[in-house]
């Protein structure tokens, strides 16, 4: 029997079994199900079919690997079997076992394809920095053919990426980022003064999702996103994120055109987003053509104003097309919202385990506020670099719980990373910050949460702790939560300012505790490293001085 025939049989058997289970489940539920319940049942059916199909395809991949997957010369050693299922079901354990068994360069067969996992600073630097021109961004591994991401910075390559990066860079320079601090602080103050004003148990990940979504929408679109339009955009973004979360959880990538329940809902969300975003872009272009301009520029204003100097001066230079603008705005919403929500959720969870850390942040904030010219005033952009312990807590959270726990690149040509690691064109290289940033070879007591490790003065200090920590690939090339090299995250400064200011506001106003009898949240590795479940007891912090 051929590989294809065996694979088809697996898929058919898995589909029939899943279908029978799903129909039985559906009959049991229909008796008293509400519409929401029926939707959940349908989604569960689709997930069951997806998982069953993944299992079947895993068998196909093993067949392909056994019969046709030829390893090139100097391909790193690794497991003989296809690891697709293992990587999908428990990525973190797989990463740790692979390194322990095979070292810092592991050759894998992943769904029939050759993949190399690297987990040493030297190899990470080779891929991200020293030989970055030999690799393309493997963004399609996370948003393959996605109508949401389009061809934005997250997934584009070559000259398209280079041009979009040139046009986007000015919107993320220090002076520009500081203008967004006010909306960050306003959202943070509403969170602590309203949402968390009473003592109780909160799903902090859900709260931070709402808060960071409001911040990124305000930074992108300013006053154009309020009221009903804000609700429409926020709802569509949430639907899109949930779609990608479920896709990552099952490990199945069903084409977006397939008429499944999830795809229909997702495509409707993208359509709603497109309608609003294109409408805002058109409105801004009309305003600029008539000489109108906002006093305070938001990100969209800055992107609209930029012209590509490489194309010439004056009338010869052009900016982004509506489609390019749309793709970048979508990319910024995707990349700028969820990762910040995850980072702040992890920071609060780690602090809830160690209440003394929250006390120290509150003390730092209150002592700093006393030194300000207007005593009793709130935080502002200038305070970002004056709260070193708070900043250290964010840096340490990024080290021990990096939202981007794995980074992908695809070799654009044959390249030697070192004498025993040769990467052939088309091979995917997976870089694991999660392993490198928690490795005892490069960090003292690596599994412990120790913000103090960042407070030692750097020999190349140039200002803020973050600037020192994130320079190049951090200490010993072993710290790169925002990636590295030419494709380092464009929003690093935005994310650091947002997370430091919000954490300062939170710890100054609130106490965070784990619920009695509960354990610390466990990491759940999907597209990003999320907390599995994160409910904390939150309440007002006494105003007494420590």
Comparing 462 with 244, which gets the higher pLDDT? 244
SS3 64: helix
Across residues 306-316, what is the average pLDDT? 61
Measured in degrees and rounded to the nearest 5, phi and psi for residue 59 equal -65, -40
Band (pLDDT 50/70/90 cuts) for residue 318 is confident
pLDDT at 338 over 70: yes
Top mean-pLDDT range of 157-171, 224-238, 314-328: 157-171
pLDDT at 60 over 60: no
Strand pairing report for 135-137 and 407-411: antiparallel
Closest to 430 (Cα-Cα) out of 60, 12, 76 = 76
pLDDT at 8 over 60: no
Alpha helix segments (H runs only) across 154-259: 158-168, 174-179, 181-190, 204-221, 227-250
The token pair that represents 407 in the structure block = 């980074």
Comparing 386 with 52, which gets the higher pLDDT? 386
Closest to 496 (Cα-Cα) out of 333, 413, 385 = 385
Determine whether the annotation assigns residue 489 to a binding site.
yes
**Res 182: pLDDT:** 92
Q: To the nearest whole number, what is the mean pLDDT of the chain?
A: 82
pLDDT at 5 over 90: no
Q: Among 48-57, 243-252, 463-472, whose mean pLDDT is lowest? A: 48-57
Alpha helix segments (H runs only) across 255-409: 261-289, 299-305, 322-353, 355-371, 388-400
Residue 31 burial by Cβ neighbours in a 10 Å radius (0-12, 13-18, 19+)? exposed
| Residues 510-524 pLDDT 10s | 999 999 999 889 998
CA distances from 504 to 347, 369, 377, 498 (A): 11, 11, 14, 10
Across residues 534-540, what is the average pLDDT? 94
Give this prediction's pTM: 0.83
CA distances from 486 to 413, 490, 506 (A): 18, 10, 34
Across residues 36-46, what is the average pLDDT? 45
C-alpha–C-alpha distance, residues 90 and 194, integer Å: 38
C-alpha–C-alpha distance, residues 204 and 210, integer Å: 10
For the chain, domains (ranges, CATH) are: 69-145+411-428 (no CATH), 158-404+440-477+481-540 (1.10.630.10)
Is the Cβ–Cβ distance between 253 and 39 less than 8 Å? no
Q: Among 46-50, 278-282, 423-427, 490-494, whose mean pLDDT is lowest? A: 46-50
pLDDT at 132 over 70: yes
Closest to 43 (Cα-Cα) out of 209, 250, 232, 206 = 250
Q: Among 84-93, 242-251, 300-309, whose mean pLDDT is lowest? A: 242-251
Q: Among 81-90, 274-283, 506-515, whose mean pLDDT is lowest? A: 81-90
Number of other residues whose CB lies within 10 A of the CB of residue 37: 12
**Res 306: pLDDT:** 86
pLDDT at 423 over 90: yes
Q: ∠315-316-321 over CA atoms, to 5°?
A: 90
| Residues 143-201 pLDDT 10s | 455 788 888 888 888 888 899 999 999 999 999 999 999 999 999 999 999 999 999 99
| Residues 449-493 pLDDT 10s | 999 999 876 443 444 566 667 766 666 789 999 999 999 999 999
**Res 533: pLDDT:** 82
% of the chain residues with pLDDT over 90: 51
**Res 542: pLDDT:** 87
| Residues 194-228 pLDDT 10s | 999 999 999 999 999 999 999 998 899 987 777 77
C-alpha–C-alpha distance, residues 92 and 192, integer Å: 33
**Res 497: pLDDT:** 95
**Res 34: pLDDT:** 45
**Res 138: pLDDT:** 65
pLDDT at 46 over 70: no
């Amino acid at each position: 029997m051929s590989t294809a025939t065996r694979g088809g049989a697996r898929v058919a058997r898995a589909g029939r079994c899943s279908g029978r289970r799903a129909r039985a489940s559906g009959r049991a539920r229909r008796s008293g199900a509400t519409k929401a319940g029926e939707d959940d049942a349908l989604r569960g059916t689709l997930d069951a079919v997806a998982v069953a199909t993944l299992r079947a395809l895993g068998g196909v991949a093993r067949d392909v690997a056994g019969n046709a997957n030829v390893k090139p010369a100097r391909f790193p050693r690794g497991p003989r079997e296809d690891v697709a299922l293992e990587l999908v079901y428990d990525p973190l354990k797989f990463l740790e076992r692979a390194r322990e068994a095979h070292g810092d360069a592991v050759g894998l067969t992943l769904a029939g394809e050759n993949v190399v996992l690297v987990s040493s600073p030297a190899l990470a630097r080779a891929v991200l920095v020293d030989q970055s021109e030999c690799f393309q961004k493997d963004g399609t591994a996370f948003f393959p053919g996605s109508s949401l991401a389009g061809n934005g910075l997250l997934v584009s390559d070559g000259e398209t990426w280079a041009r979009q990066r040139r046009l986007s860079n000015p919107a993320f320079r220090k002076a520009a980022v500081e203008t967004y601090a006010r909306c960050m602080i306003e959202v943070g103050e509403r969170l602590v003064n309203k949402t968390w004003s009473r003592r109780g148990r909160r799903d902090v990940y859900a709260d931070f999702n709402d808060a960071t979504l409001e911040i990124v929408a305000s930074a992108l679109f300013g006053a154009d996103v309020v009221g009903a339009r804000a609700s429409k955009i926020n709802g569509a973004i949430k639907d899109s994120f949930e779609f990608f979360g479920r896709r990552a959880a099952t490990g199945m990538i069903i084409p977006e055109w397939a008429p499944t329940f999830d795809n229909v809902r997702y495509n409707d969300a993208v359509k709603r987003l497109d309608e609003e975003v294109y409408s805002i872009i058109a409105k801004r272009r009309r305003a600029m053509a008539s000489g109108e301009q906002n006093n305070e520029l938001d990100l969209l204003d800055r992107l609209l104003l930029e012209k590509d100097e490489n194309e010439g001066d004056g009338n010869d230079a052009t900016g982004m097309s509506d489609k390019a603008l749309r793709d970048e705005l979508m990319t910024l919403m995707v990349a700028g919202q969820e990762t910040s929500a995850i980072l702040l959720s992890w920071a609060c969870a780690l602090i809830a385990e160690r209440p003394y850390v929250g006390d120290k942040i509150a003390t730092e904030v209150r002592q700093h506020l006393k030194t300000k010219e207007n005593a009793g005033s709130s935080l502002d952009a200038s305070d970002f670099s004056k709260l070193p312990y708070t900043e250290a807590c964010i840096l340490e959270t990024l080290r021990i719980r990096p939202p981007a726990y794995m980074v992908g690149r695809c070799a654009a040509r044959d390249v030697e990373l070192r004498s025993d690691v040769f990467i052939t064109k088309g091979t995917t290289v997976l870089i694991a910050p999660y392993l490198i940033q928690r490795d005892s070879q490069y960090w003292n007591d690596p599994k412990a949460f120790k913000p103090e490790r960042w407070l030692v003065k750097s020999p190349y200090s140039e200002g803020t702790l973050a600037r020192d920590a994130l320079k190049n690939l951090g200490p010993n090339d072993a710290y790169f939560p925002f990636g590295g090299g030419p494709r380092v995250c464009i929003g690093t400064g935005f994310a650091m300012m947002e997370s430091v200011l919000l954490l300062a506001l939170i710890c100054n106003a609130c106490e965070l505790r784990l619920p009695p009898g509960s354990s610390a949240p466990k990491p759940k590795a999907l597209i990003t490293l999320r907390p599995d479940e994160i409910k904390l007891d939150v309440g007002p912090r006494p105003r007494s001085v420590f």
